[in-house]
Amino acid sequence: MFWLSLLFAIGFALIHYFSGQLIHVRETPRSRFLSLAGGVAVAYVFLHLLPELNEYQQELEGHLESGLFASIENHILVVSMLGLAVFYGLERLATQMKRRGNGSVFWIHMALFIVYNFSIGYVLAESEFDTAWAMTLYFVALGIHFITVDQGLRHHHQESYDRRGRLWLSLAVLAGWGVGAFSVLHEVTLSMIVAFLAGGIILNVMKEELPEERDSSFRAFAVGLIGYALLLLAI
């Protein structure tokens, strides 16, 4: 499925680069589309990515037969938790720096999401998807999620994001796909990236949906969550 993964990687890049021009959504009250997108992303994480982590955990335990980490249970979930914590910590740092008028907040956000997008591109190329449908579901869930990410970054950085940020994030997805497609990394490395990514996706969805001033639509969120969950379970 090399060519299909390349097509989807290009699709991810195009979504990032053109979403602001093609899709205009409200921030307050929050567009129902963004709330629906959040529900889709959460359903994908909990019903696809997290179950995959159980398989990675078994493989990881085989490589950690002795030493300090061998005595720790659920290594993969710890990595996922750290992913959530790292994204939350850097997000808080960026918010505080923005209040102080520190201009480097843009690059902190970009560095954070360059790693995020690189990981998504890498997993697209490196993961052993069972079928083309499984890869398509990954693309649909995270492609919709990218629109939410774009909206949040454009809200924070406006012209800076449109001039430079969206290009960097588009290239990051393609770079991640390139590394995953043309290099062979250890299975443990892939498991760590998937776990870290799962934590990051959960945090990014929640931080966009939870603030009270966003006036998010729980109904749209639930439709996205339940609808995509049923689709995943059916396939």
Assess whether pLDDT exceeds 90 at residue 49: no
Assess whether pLDDT exceeds 60 at residue 213: no
Among 26-30, 39-43, 148-152, 202-206, the range of highest mean pLDDT: 39-43
More confident residue, 217 or 13: 13
Q: How confident is the model over 24-36, as pLDDT tens digits?
A: 555 555 567 777 8
d(C-alpha 230, C-alpha 58), whole Å: 27
Rounded to two decimals, the pTM is 0.82
Assess whether pLDDT exceeds 80 at residue 16: yes
User: Taking all residues of the chain, what is their mean pLDDT, rounded to a whole number?
Assistant: 81
More confident residue, 101 or 228: 228
Classify each residue of 102-119 as buried b or exposed e, where b means 16 or more C-beta atoms within 10 Å of its C-beta: eeebbebbbebbbbbbbb
177 CB contacts (<8 Å, ≥6 apart)? Answer: 5, 6, 9, 121, 122, 124, 125
Q: What percent of the chain has pLDDT over 90?
A: 17
Q: What percent of the chain has pLDDT over 70?
A: 85
Q: What is the DSSP string of the chain?
A: -HHHHHHHHHHHHHHHHHHHHH----TTTTPHHHHHHHHHHHHHIIIIIHHHHHHHHHHHHHH-SSSGGGG-S-HHHHHHHHHHHHHHHHHHHHHHHHHTT-TTHHHHHHHHHHHHHHHHHHHHHHS--SSHHHHHHHHHHHHHHHHHHHHHHHHHHTHHIIIIIHHHHHHHHHHHHHHHHH----HHHHHHHHHHHHHHHHHHHHHHH--GGG---HHHHHHHHHHHHHHHHH-
The predicted structure's pLDDT at residue 215: 64
Assess whether pLDDT exceeds 80 at residue 225: yes
d(C-alpha 220, C-alpha 222), whole Å: 5
